[in-house]
Chain A
Amino acid sequence: MSDKVKFKIDGKECEADQGLNLVEAAKQNGIYIPTLCHLEGVKAAGSCRICNVKINGRFMTACTTPVSDGMEVENSTEDIKELRKIIVETLFVSGNHYCPACEKSGSCELQALGYRFTMLVPRFPYAFEPKEVDAKSTKLYIDRNRCVLCKRCVRSIKTKDGKSIFAVKGRGHNAMINIDHELAAQMTDEEATAAMDTCPVGSILKKERGYFTPIGRRKYDKKPIGSDIEESVTI
């Protein structure tokens, strides 16, 4: 067991294991730091930038920052909320997100963040860029219209001998998720389902499984994203 450290988030005294990343450390204290790319137990990417917080006066991503003693963290100031909302809005306009028709609607973290940040309509013009849908795999299909390039799939889904099934292709605003069809074909049904569940949006979908959970019973249908953390018993 590692040493405990004391730190503050928005003035609230918190305690967690030294070296734990700030998103998890906050979670243990009943504080939700929103994020799209973070995945517990997987190496942080720090790519969605939504978990930006102010640590001792400097903007840093919480998922990439190990908590240390005496840290003063700002998580819910107006400027931080505005930054997060702007990022969520850019993700909406740079992709093609048609929530009502999406298999992930109600379980989608991007959509849930949109609600959480009370995004009524994005302030930016929609790009309507054409994106490729890749349905060549036997078990999965990738709808890049919905991808937010969080790289959860890239970081966490590997074959048994450690090979990547997903990787990024291209760069900048043309970057996209690429799938190795041969390796993907060897995935078990459980692995394919796990891949779908890993994706925060409806970009990776297991074939023949899309609308499995009916609307109304999906993850964020009743309670907003993060509320489970905020309602949890604090240590």
Chain B
Amino acid sequence: MSSNIQSIVEKYGKNETRLMDILHDVHCENGFVSDEEIKEIALLLNISKVDVEQTLTFYHFFSKNPRGKYTVYLNNSLVAKMMGRDEIAHTFEKATGTKFGTVSDDGLFGLYDTSCIGMNDQEPAAIINGIVFPKITTYRVKELVKSFRMGSSVQDMINSFGGGQNQSELIHAMVTNNLNRRGAVIFSDYTPGEGLEKLKSMSPEDVIAEVKNSNIRGRGGAGFPTGLKWDFCSKSPGDEKFVLCNADEGEPGTFKDRVILTERPSLMFEGMIIAGYAIGAKQGILYLRKEYEYLKNHLEFVLNEFREKGFLGKSILGIDGFDYDIRIQFGAGAYVCGEESALIESCEGKRGEPRNRPPFPVQVGYLNQPTIINNVESLSSVTKIISNGSVWFKSMGTKESSGTKLLSISGDLKYPGTFEVEWGMSINEMLEMAGASDVKAVQVGGPSGRLIAPNEFHRTICYEDLPTGGAMIVIGEGRSILETVMNFMDFFIDESCGSCAPCRYLTVILRNKLKKIIDGKGVSKDLEEIVHWGKQMKIANRCGLGQSAANPILTSIENFRGEYEAKIEKGKDYDTEFDLNSAIIESSRAVGRFPEA
């Protein structure tokens, strides 16, 4: 038994619900977790090997095999592709002599695709040994590979610092904020502690009433009223209650939480403390996506500062009995963990598979206790609601959508970045604001949202009209809608947890059908079938991922039917996809007889 694994497992109290942390720590040593190590972890936790393995094999950034001394995770999301990702991939392959999905023979380089890493405003981007390399060029790839071959560390290759806190000693990242527009809520003037100060004269019920009165709805995309969620949770019976902050922003095209985590972590942590006070929790957990690991020291520093100031710990702000602390829980590469019940499962050291409902997390959540899960932006907004009042908050936005919304705008436009706007802005105004022209389509809310055409650009961003978590992908004239949809379908296939039968395989069937159309082998019946089968996805699956996995294909057929029809074989209702000659090639070879051309 290696003493190292023993000390790691003991560090987490031999607690199997901390399996994610244990795997992260073990993984950190060698870049993979071996069968022998799996066995040791299982033995120490007194669980079966297959239980350790089922968590390990669920997450994209965990591996059972070495992934190279330098492990490159190159984003393959739509915007990365738009910005030239394929050429970068090709250059990596040529320079390292290995293909994506493999490790070079000398064990030096491992190349892997990865889903959106939250850098759509600075693509193409890759994560190499945890460090983000944005705006990679072919020149840079060659330089990196050459330097790594000569023994440079990944740290040595940091050649610039992004603006704001990115250049602070605790982050030192090349990532830029691209905060193109500050609004009145998230990125306005702020003094840490300004919201907490108000708690001294407010009861938990007052806090919930104030949040309810502000009409704030969840900023992650689902739009559930935050105050109502807190109210349910506070009234649910339980030995303990928990506040979970969802910082797993994995929807391709979103990156706004990254900017909050970089520039306003105190605002978010304060919101988590306010939430804890409101529902009577003792512990908060920030569930942070692994892609943002470069912010870890920065966030831990802020938490320590809070502890020193008495914002965390025992009797916070002198309020008797208000004991509360926050820990960071890292994910390991799984989009579905942004779904709240999957996030809970992951926090408990399990596969990130969404739970069945009922019961809801506010009743039975983390460790089976009442739990609220709120988005980074929602909790940050709450701090300002408590600080400035719900009336102030409601003075912004529209009737049903109060306050501001952060938009992550990327794709074909001049100024990709994060914009804080009041709810109620039209898509046309948004495009003008961000410097976009000749726009063919906008993907509102990322792949799980809607692909809209110019005839809908007059619509406004708000819950009454076009609700969104804020991911806005601008698709310029000249781009292929079908290729766009194909990228999204591949994304959903990669990220499906595999639990629900329709999500596990109907996604693949739909993708193959789309490929058939792109290859010019489609017939008009294919379109009808796609729509019919796609609709089943919406009703059949358990979670938002499965229910929305057909959205790109359905909304694009709805709004860009012409592009599909242009690819379809005219006047044929029989299938020409099957190629007899290629199907029998193997047996032809075996008998040495080939069909005449």
Contacts and interface: CB of A to CB of B under 8 A. Distances in A.
Interface of A: 44-50, 52, 59, 61, 64-66, 82-83, 86-87, 90-91, 93-94, 123-125, 127, 148-149, 159, 163-175, 178-180, 182-183
B576 interface: no
Interface string B174-210: 0000000000000000000000000000000000000
Given A83-B539, A94-B508, A165-B50, A173 B498 contact: yes
B595 to A, nearest CB: 22
Interface string B474-506: 000000000000000000011111111110111
Nearest to A48: B501
Nearest to B58: A171
A83 B47 contact: no
A209 to B, nearest CB: 23
Contacts of B497: 171-172, 175
Given A83-B536, A94-B504, A172 B493 contact: yes
Contacts of A167: 48, 50-51, 53-54
Interface string B21-54: 0000000000000000000000000111111011
Chief secondary structure at chain A's binding surface: mixed
B509 interface: yes
A169 B502 CA distance: 18
Interface of B: 46-51, 53-54, 57-58, 334, 351, 356-358, 493-502, 504-509, 512, 529, 533, 536, 539-542
Nearest to A123: B529
A49 B501 CA distance: 7
Contacts, number: 124
28 contacts: A44-B356, A46-B500, A47-B542, A49-B502, A59-B539, A64-B356, A83-B539, A86-B533, A86-B536, A87-B501, A87-B502, A90-B501, A93-B505, A149-B499, A159-B48, A163-B47, A166-B50, A167-B48, A167-B50, A167-B53, A170-B57, A171-B496, A172-B496, A173-B496, A173-B505, A178-B50, A180-B50, A182-B49
B271 to A, nearest CB: 32
Contacts of A59: 539-540
A86 B49 CA distance: 35
A90 B505 contact: yes
B498 A163 contact: no
A77 to B, nearest CB: 12
Contacts of B539: 52, 59, 83
A83 B541 CA distance: 11
A159 B42 CA distance: 15
A125 B58 CA distance: 27
A146 to B, nearest CB: 14
Given A175-B497, A178-B54, 18 more contacts: A45-B356, A46-B356, A48-B501, A61-B542, A65-B358, A83-B540, A87-B501, A124-B509, A125-B512, A149-B504, A165-B48, A171-B58, A172-B493, A172-B504, A173-B505, A175-B498, A178-B53, A180-B50
Contacts of A86: 502, 506, 533, 536
Nearest to A37: B501
A48 B501 CA distance: 5
B358 A66 contact: yes
B563 to A, nearest CB: 23
B498 A172 contact: yes
A44 B499 CA distance: 12
A156 to B, nearest CB: 15
Contacts of B53: 167, 169, 178
A178 to B, nearest CB: 5
Contacts of A174: 498
B504 A169 contact: no
A180 B541 CA distance: 30
Contacts of B351: 168, 171
A149 to B, nearest CB: 7
B498 A149 contact: yes
Contact of B498 (A52, A159, A168): A168
Nearest to A36: B501
B309 to A, nearest CB: 42
A172 B506 contact: no
Contacts of A125: 509, 512
A87 B537 CA distance: 10
A192 to B, nearest CB: 17
Contact of A94 (B48, B54, B500, B505): B505
A177 B356 CA distance: 21
B50 A49 contact: no
A52 to B, nearest CB: 6
A149 B536 CA distance: 19
Contacts of A175: 497-498, 504
Contact of A61 (B46, B54, B356, B508): B356
Contact of B509 (A90, A163, A172): A90
A47 B536 contact: no
Nearest to A183: B48
Contacts of A64: 356-357
Contact of A179 (B50, B504, B536): B50
Nearest to A66: B358
Nearest to A151: B499
A91 B501 contact: yes
Nearest to A158: B48
Contacts of B49: 180, 182
Nearest to B357: A64
Contacts of B500: 46-47, 49
